[in-house]
Amino acid sequence: MEPKLTIDEKKKIKRSTILNAAIKLYSENGFAETKVAEIAKEAGVSFGTVFTYFDSKEALYESVFLEPLEEIKTYFIEIEKHFKGEPLEVVKEMIDCHVQLFSMRNEYLRIIQQVLARPDRFPKLFNELNDFVNGFIVSIHPVIEAGQRLGYFYEEPTSLIAKSYLSILNGMRLTFVDESTSMMWKEITRQALRLFGPITNKG
Amino acid sequence: MEPKLTIDEKKKIKRSTILNAAIKLYSENGFAETKVAEIAKEAGVSFGTVFTYFDSKEALYESVFLEPLEEIKTYFIEIEKHFKGEPLEVVKEMIDCHVQLFSMRNEYLRIIQQVLARPDRFPKLFNELNDFVNGFIVSIHPVIEAGQRLGYFYEEPTSLIAKSYLSILNGMRLTFVDESTSMMWKEITRQALRLFGPITNKG
Amino acid sequence: MEPKLTIDEKKKIKRSTILNAAIKLYSENGFAETKVAEIAKEAGVSFGTVFTYFDSKEALYESVFLEPLEEIKTYFIEIEKHFKGEPLEVVKEMIDCHVQLFSMRNEYLRIIQQVLARPDRFPKLFNELNDFVNGFIVSIHPVIEAGQRLGYFYEEPTSLIAKSYLSILNGMRLTFVDESTSMMWKEITRQALRLFGPITNKG
Amino acid sequence: MEPKLTIDEKKKIKRSTILNAAIKLYSENGFAETKVAEIAKEAGVSFGTVFTYFDSKEALYESVFLEPLEEIKTYFIEIEKHFKGEPLEVVKEMIDCHVQLFSMRNEYLRIIQQVLARPDRFPKLFNELNDFVNGFIVSIHPVIEAGQRLGYFYEEPTSLIAKSYLSILNGMRLTFVDESTSMMWKEITRQALRLFGPITNKG
DNA sequence: TATGAATGAGTGTTCATTCAT
DNA sequence: GATGAATGAACACTCATTCAT
């Protein structure tokens, strides 16, 4: 018995197929060097169909960027909702979660890097990222402050700690393109934590 | 008295003018969205002249990438030649130097990020960067080891420390696109140092 | 009542329109001096369309050369199928047919000459012509031999007769570019026949 | 002792070097696909020098075509000056001479074919060839007529015989691109002669 | 809704020609 | 006279987008 899907569900699935094909190819080839025809082929549809679901190549890129961002955002904005406990524990868990997220969403992260590298080309998307960063700074602020009060974290401006943490997250993706052993992620987590406070004991 | 330049000197200057124009535009617009005609205009020459000095748009991009890399390399490979003293001092000075370098070579760093984001598109250049990273790891190794023996640095694999340091350097450029107060660079330096060992005192 | 054409039929027609325009212009202007835009204009399509039907200017030239050759081949290879009777009759009819063919396919013959004039530039096409010539030599061989046995034809190697016949056919096209009276073709036929054997009586 | 050359002689030699390089390359690559820079390289001069001796690429092509033609002309126009004796002997010797000429001036003949193939592109040069053909027809006329009166030659219009003879000469160059045994030239000579009259005995 | 043929603006590259040295 | 750097018109080809079927 084949599953009965409503027309709307079918459309949603096809749209999503195209979107995923686009994420893959945009991340590999960049905006300019990705051809709509290739996306269509990857998605298994005719390239006319791409334009049925997305107004233009540009609009598709925006969707590719914005839609996954919403999901990722929750792990960066609603920190105290996702991670509970002592500040040190919260930060540890958060870093674990983010590092795992970044290691899994490899392709999507390249899209982010592309946008970061071209602020003038993608101003709308770039501003979304700025908002994202600022939202994270605001959101992580009480956690760091609490940690500082308890003497766990460095007495730095919380925004500096937040930004340097985002830097290392982003930078790792650039610097460790090929490596992806779970081992490594564990170690990286430890190094990221050291931007918050001195962690001398191993493990 | 007008300066007398030999033909060879003139050619060198013109080549360099084109190269600099190319760095500017490639970094702003990426490889694909930079037009050779724009580079020519920026350099103040006809676009035919660009092809007198560089075989193709691609070859120009390679030169744009490789030539400044040679210069930057010296500050990452010949560490003990540039920075002397106690391990902690060496690392502090090195980070200062690198952060300053990165803040000054803003445009060139975008080129590096473009290459990092497209390993399959620019395999030759990407491998150059890999060599660069490995060279740095080898070169920094004795310094970190000495610091570890003195109890200043974390007991981590030196390659992990080196890589996480490169990550934050790279990531900063992505995360702090617009900001460039000297204040900030000072603070960043401190955070970078914390990947090597616990630095609790300010300044 | 307008004719209902399937999409495939329409495509075939359009392809053929482009091919014919290309034959005309390539024959007039040669490969290098024919612009794809001109072919498109002559065919009444946009030049983008030319690339929908042919991969490149070069591929179009190959099609222009190869496709009509197939048709012409039949009159040179399947000689005993097309022309029946006494050897002398066969050759007379064959020459008539070939001369007529050559006078009608004026444009196409120039393409052949271009290829003959540039063996290194069009090696694939040139080899096709070589095969064609050799096929003719083999095919005409029994006819000439029979004629020789009957005493009608010169006792020369059949390949020499065949080649000299092809030479005069080809050469006529070069030497008599402008002339095309039916009178002339009749006379030429007679001269061609004289390469096979002595024809002293007029008409 | 090195030979002392006047400046004028040196110039003549250099001009001739360029001209010969041009014959070689134009014949191989055609007008459009031959680059002036290549001709210069082949001649061992800078390409600026080519323009010192010839006004333009086009003018060089004209010289390449016209200057050797003058030399060849003499063997086609001044027939009775070069070849003496009975009409049959004159024609035999002439054909020998022409065939030899054509087999030696391979490259130049390709230039002629290029011009013949593009009457509209090279009208001036094409007309030169027309004049050449007509000159030959006029010049050979009395010889053929004499041969006809003696019963050696076919009773065809002398212009037809002349033209068909030129056709086979030209065509051979096209049809036998690669072959060049002296054997073959001997045989071809015999076939060419058969356009004038019936030659049944071998040798 | 899905398709893919048609379109033509846009771009890298070539190369004859000029001209300052 | 000889050179070759500079120029820019010209052209093949790509590809996003449209639209008839």
CB atoms near residue D131 (< 10 Å) = 13
Nearest CB among C28, C168, C200 relative to D167 is that of C168
Stronger pLDDT, D95 or A174, i.e. the higher one: D95
- CATH architecture type of domain D66-193: Orthogonal Bundle (1.10)
B114 touching chain A per CB within 8 A: yes
Asked if strand E comes closer than 7 Å to B51 Cβ, the answer is: yes
Query: Do the Cβ atoms of A94 and A79 come closer than 8 Å?
Result: yes
**Rounded distance, CA D199 to CA D152, Å?**
9
Q: Residue D182: is its pLDDT beyond 80? A: no
Interface contact flag, C160 D191, Cβ < 8 Å: yes
Q: What would the mean pLDDT of A130-146 be, rounded to a whole number?
A: 95
D33 touching chain C per CB within 8 A: yes
Interface contact flag, A191 B161, Cβ < 8 Å: yes
Return the SS3 of A85. coil
> Domain C65-193: which topology?
Tetracycline Repressor; domain 2 (1.10.357)
B117: nearest Cα among A116, A78, C167: A116
Burial class (CB in 10 A: 0-12, 13-18, 19+), A97: middle
Q: Residue A97: is its pLDDT beyond 90? A: yes
CATH 1.10.10.60 placement within chain D: 1-54
**Rounded distance, CA D152 to CA D141, Å?**
14
CB atoms near residue B77 (< 10 Å) = 17
In chain C, which residues have their Cβ closer than 8 Å to the Cβ of D33?
32, 121
pLDDT, one tens digit per residue, over C92-124 is 999 999 998 988 898 999 999 899 888 899 999
In chain C, which residues have their Cβ closer than 8 Å to the Cβ of D114?
117
Interface contact flag, C171 D176, Cβ < 8 Å: no
- Please tell me the predicted confidence (pLDDT) of residue D187: 86
What mean pLDDT is reported for chain D? Answer: 90
Interface contact flag, C156 D187, Cβ < 8 Å: yes
**Rounded distance, CA C162 to CA C166, Å?**
6
D158 touching chain C per CB within 8 A: no
Distance in Å, residue C7 CA to nucleotide F21 C1': 9
Report the percent of chain C where pLDDT is more than 70. Answer: 93
**Rounded distance, CA A72 to CA A135, Å?**
12
Examine chains C and D and say if they touch (3+ CB pairs below 8 A).
yes
- Please tell me the predicted confidence (pLDDT) of residue C1: 43
pLDDT, one tens digit per residue, over C135-170 is 999 999 999 999 999 999 999 999 999 999 999 998
**Rounded distance, CA B187 to CA B185, Å?**
5
Rounded to 10°, the helix A87-104/A158-175 angle is 30
Phi, psi dihedral angles at D11 (to 5 degrees): -60, -40
C152 touching chain D per CB within 8 A: no
The CATH number that domain C1-54 falls under is 1.10.10.60
Shortest-distance nucleotide from C51 CA to C1': F13
Measured in angstroms, the CA of C7 and the nearest CA of chain D are apart by 38
- Could you say which DSSP state residue A156 is in? S
Return the SS3 of D121. coil
Shortest-distance nucleotide from B38 CA to C1': E11
For residue A178, what are the contacts with CB-CB under 8 A and spacing of at least 6?
A: B119
Measured in angstroms, the CA of D13 and the nearest CA of chain C are apart by 29
Interface contact flag, B163 A176, Cβ < 8 Å: yes
**Rounded distance, CA C196 to CA C145, Å?**
11
A129 touching chain B per CB within 8 A: no
C135 touching chain D per CB within 8 A: no
Q: What would the mean pLDDT of A85-90 be, rounded to a whole number?
A: 92
- Sequence-ordered alpha helix ranges (H) in B31-105: 36-43, 47-53, 57-77, 79-82, 87-104
Nearest CB among A33, A117, A199 relative to B113 is that of A117
Asked if strand E comes closer than 7 Å to A36 Cβ, the answer is: no
Taken in order A31, A34, A37, A40, is the CA torsion positive or negative? negative
Asked if strand F comes closer than 7 Å to B46 Cβ, the answer is: yes
CATH 1.10.357 placement within chain C: 65-193
Q: What would the mean pLDDT of B28-39 be, rounded to a whole number?
A: 96
Distance in Å, residue A34 CA to nucleotide E4 C1': 19
Least-confidence region, from B115-124, B169-178, C115-124: B169-178
For residue C35, what are the contacts with CB-CB under 8 A and spacing of at least 6?
A: none
- Please tell me the predicted confidence (pLDDT) of residue B134: 93
**Rounded distance, CA B197 to CA B187, Å?**
16
pLDDT, one tens digit per residue, over C48-97 is 999 999 999 999 999 999 999 999 999 999 998 999 999 999 999 999 99
Distance in Å, residue B31 CA to nucleotide E12 C1': 13
Examine chains A and B and say if they touch (3+ CB pairs below 8 A).
yes
**Rounded distance, CA D73 to CA D88, Å?**
21
Report the percent of chain D where pLDDT is more than 70. Answer: 93
Q: Residue C19: is its pLDDT beyond 80? A: yes
- Record the tokens describing residue B37, joined without a space: 């005609």
- Could you say which DSSP state residue C4 is in? P
Which CA distances in Å does B4 have to A176, B7, B53, B73, C162? 50, 10, 22, 34, 73
- Record the tokens describing residue A198, joined without a space: 């001195």
Q: Residue D201: is its pLDDT beyond 70? A: no
- Please tell me the predicted confidence (pLDDT) of residue C184: 76
Strand F: positions under 7 A of a protein C-beta atom: 1-21
Measured in angstroms, the CA of A174 and the nearest CA of chain B are apart by 6
A160 touching chain B per CB within 8 A: yes
Distance in Å, residue A60 CA to nucleotide E2 C1': 18
**Rounded distance, CA D96 to CA A199, Å?**
101
Going by pLDDT thresholds of 50, 70 and 90, the confidence category of residue A10 is confident
Task: Report the residue of D174, D178, D179, D189 to disrupt the C interface, i.e. the one with the largest count of C CBs within 10 Å.
Answer: D174
D52: nearest Cα among D26, D23, D18: D18
Q: Residue D203: is its pLDDT beyond 50? A: no
A159 touching chain B per CB within 8 A: no
Measured in angstroms, the CA of A28 and the nearest CA of chain B are apart by 7
Stronger pLDDT, C18 or D7, i.e. the higher one: C18
Phi, psi dihedral angles at C84 (to 5 degrees): -115, 160
Asked if strand F comes closer than 7 Å to A37 Cβ, the answer is: yes
- Sequence-ordered alpha helix ranges (H) in chain C: 7-29, 36-43, 47-53, 57-77, 79-82, 87-104, 106-117, 123-149, 158-175, 182-193
- Please tell me the predicted confidence (pLDDT) of residue D74: 94
Which chains, if any, share at least 3 CB pairs under 8 A with chain C?
D
Q: Residue A115: is its pLDDT beyond 70? A: yes
Return the SS3 of B107. helix
What mean pLDDT is reported for chain A? Answer: 90
A28 touching chain B per CB within 8 A: yes
Query: Do the Cβ atoms of B65 and B123 come closer than 8 Å?
Result: no
In chain D, which residues have their Cβ closer than 8 Å to the Cβ of C163?
172, 175-176
- Please tell me the predicted confidence (pLDDT) of residue D181: 60
Phi, psi dihedral angles at D12 (to 5 degrees): -60, -45
- Please tell me the predicted confidence (pLDDT) of residue B8: 83
Q: What's the length of chain C?
A: 203
**Rounded distance, CA D72 to CA D98, Å?**
9
**Rounded distance, CA D183 to CA C159, Å?**
13
Using the C1' atom of nucleotide E6, identify the protein residue whose alpha carbon is closest: C49
- Please tell me the predicted confidence (pLDDT) of residue B1: 41
**Which window residues (29-48, chain C) lie with Cβ within 7 Å of strand F?**
34-37, 47-48
**Which window residues (144-183, chain A) lie with Cβ within 7 Å of strand E?**
none
pLDDT, one tens digit per residue, over D37-64 is 999 999 999 999 999 999 999 999 999 9
Going by pLDDT thresholds of 50, 70 and 90, the confidence category of residue B203 is very low
A98 touching chain B per CB within 8 A: no
Examine chains C and A and say if they touch (3+ CB pairs below 8 A).
no
pLDDT, one tens digit per residue, over B54-88 is 999 999 999 999 999 999 999 999 998 999 899 99
A120 touching chain B per CB within 8 A: yes
Distance in Å, residue C53 CA to nucleotide F13 C1': 14
